[in-house]
Amino acid sequence: MPDFSGLVDKRIRKALSGIRLAFRGVLTRITTTGGVQTAQVAGLAPEGLEGIEMFQQYGFTTVPPEGAMAIVLPLGGRTSHGIVIATEHSSYRLQGLESGEVAIYTDEGASIILKRNRIIAVTCDDWELDCKRMKVNASESVVYTTPELSTSEKLTAQGLISGNGGMTIKGGDGGVTASFEGNIRHMGGTITSVAVTINGVKIGPHIHDTPDGPSGPPKNA
């Protein structure tokens, strides 16, 4: 009696032998122009694929470095219709993340890590933000640890401004270096100036008229 089961299995294997399954490859070149990036992939020797599409999620794009591993899925089981569906590079992948953490990183070491306890850790050399408006709501505090903090235009504070390293101001609109509205309390120390004018009267070199003639200038006690 013929072995129908074995015959069916043989025919299935023969049919499947012509269908290429997903396989690993190595990216050797990426072309970033066009609507979808394309890649050159080195597969099993001596196999090589030219210009196959590399699909990524909408809103995210990456250019894997040369030598990155790739998973190629042959559409319809045909190698010539393969697409890259995933990439990885073991030399640059961030390690040591905890369960649930997410990271974006580059081969140069820049990274953004969404850590446990709702912490976002950013590592980079230069942080550039280009926008029309920026709003920061920090309910407790904002701390800058830096030797210098600059603003190119006006700085407005609705609360107290305090400091420990002194203050230097120069220039100003219309020749006025600083304007104060309200009372000024000098808590200690010395006010040093070449000349001070209050209500049009110069304090320092001014002279008073006396019954005996003009007074001399003020003297230090």
Average pLDDT value for residue range 12-36: 81
Give mean pLDDT, residues 67-86: 89
> CB within 8 A of 206, min separation 6: which ones?
217, 218
Tell me what pLDDT residue 204 has: 66
- Taking residues 43-61, report their average pLDDT: 85
Q: Which of 74, 60, 76, 63 is nearest to 24 (CA)?
A: 74
Distance CA(112)–CA(122), nearest Å, equals 5
Domain ranges of the chain: 4-88, 92-129
Q: What is the DSSP letter of 167?
A: -
Pick the CATH number of 4-88 from 3.40.50.10190, 3.10.20.600, 3.40.50.150, 2.40.50.140: 2.40.50.140
Residue 40 has pLDDT above 70, yes or no: yes
Q: What is the mean pLDDT of residues 63-85?
A: 90
Task: Pinpoint the alpha helices (H) of 67-138.
Answer: none
Find, among 64, 71, 63, 56, the residue nearest to 25 by Cα: 71
Would you state the pLDDT for residue 81? 84
Which parts of 95-211 are beta strand (E)?
Answer: 102-105, 111-115, 119-123, 196-198, 201-203, 209-210
pLDDT in tens, 101-137: 999 999 999 999 999 999 999 999 999 999 999 999 9
More confident residue, 36 or 198: 36
pLDDT tens profile 136-191: 999 999 999 999 999 998 889 999 988 888 888 887 777 778 888 899 888 888 88
Neighbouring-strand partners of residue 210? 213
Q: For the chain, how long is the longest CA-to-CA vector?
A: 147
Are 191 and 185 spatial neighbours (Cβ–Cβ below 8 Å)? no
Structure tokens at 217: 């200038």
Identify which has the larger pLDDT, 20 or 113: 113
18 has pLDDT over 80: no
Between CA 66 and CA 27 the distance in angstroms is 6
User: Which range has highest mean pLDDT (102-106, 195-199, 217-221)?
Assistant: 102-106
Q: How far apart are CA 179 and CA 173, in angstroms?
A: 10
pTM for this one?
A: 0.75
Per-residue pLDDT at 196 exceeds 70: yes
CB-based contacts of 23, cutoff 8 Å, min separation 6: 43, 44, 71, 72, 74
